[in-house]
Structure 1
């Protein structure tokens, strides 16, 4: 974690002593922590736009931890979630893992297990945000291509040679080379392999 962009941890647990103890531990490790006594309380809060993770008790009054997970998934709120569970709730936590939770911790939770899980989850969100920013930048570059350049890019990425692209588009091979060079320059690519990876990332198909 960089000092300029700290990780946030949102703790949702209806037991005040538990969430405050977790909050104290995580703050001592440099995290920014918000504490919530219920799912509805968490959903009513404004989330900072920064790397974060969500630490949620499986059993909550009203909306359960798994119901909160389902809601966030449907709302496309992609914050890595760690489930906290009592021993008897392990099957519920396994269900939560299958639905996308990154980890589950059994109460009483060892400090080091908590620190390790939160660190991994926040790094996961950092990676996701970095990849998302890179994809957004690539989309901006792709938007600068002409219609013909986009056609050529899709065909190059599909593995076609210049002469086959020329036949496909009913243009000369020289024109294909011109468009291909322009695509490589605008997309910041020095190899067809990189262009192919970018096309895959942007879901550009022939």
Structure 2
């Protein structure tokens, strides 16, 4: 069963972006992927995005900066941050700033699924520890 809610993935690592695209599709979601924050922000799909999954470390604009930009611009897009370089200070600040989940690479499929459900159904409890 396909969930019509659009999940947008932003990651500069093509291999990870493609594998995350496949994973999120396998969980039953509609998915689009972008190689940079700038590409996502310029996309006609920005307004249709129900949840954003983005890498923390990217050239140009980081995932944290992208989330802040969206909030400042008035877009209430639930955001899941993913990183290969976990940092507790960044994680704690991101969660205080309203990020739904902060996940470490490689991403655990079941944890990602719980995060997506929570993002799309606010109030759904999740364990936000990665």
What's the TM-score once normalised by structure 1's chain length?
0.55
Structure 1: 5+ residue runs without aligned partners?
Answer: 125-206
Query: Which of the numbers 29, 35, 56 marks the counterpart of 2:27?
Result: 29
> 1:67 and 1:48 mapped to 2: Cα distance?
16
2:71 maps to what in 1? Answer: 73
Query: Which of the numbers 42, 45, 50 marks the counterpart of 1:44?
Result: 42
**Greater strand content:** 2
**More off after superposition, 31-40 vs 41-50:** 41-50
Written as runs of structure 1 = structure 2, the 5 A alignment for 1:101-116 is 101-116=99-114
Paired positions, count: 123
2:93 maps to what in 1? Answer: 95
What's the TM-score once normalised by structure 2's chain length?
0.84
- Residue 54 of structure 2 corresponds to residue 56 of structure 1: yes
Larger RCO, structures 1/2 (Cα 8 Å, 6+ apart): 2
**Greater helix content:** 1
Structure 2: 5+ residue runs without aligned partners?
Answer: 123-130
Query: Which of the numbers 4, 7, 10 marks the counterpart of 1:6?
Result: 4
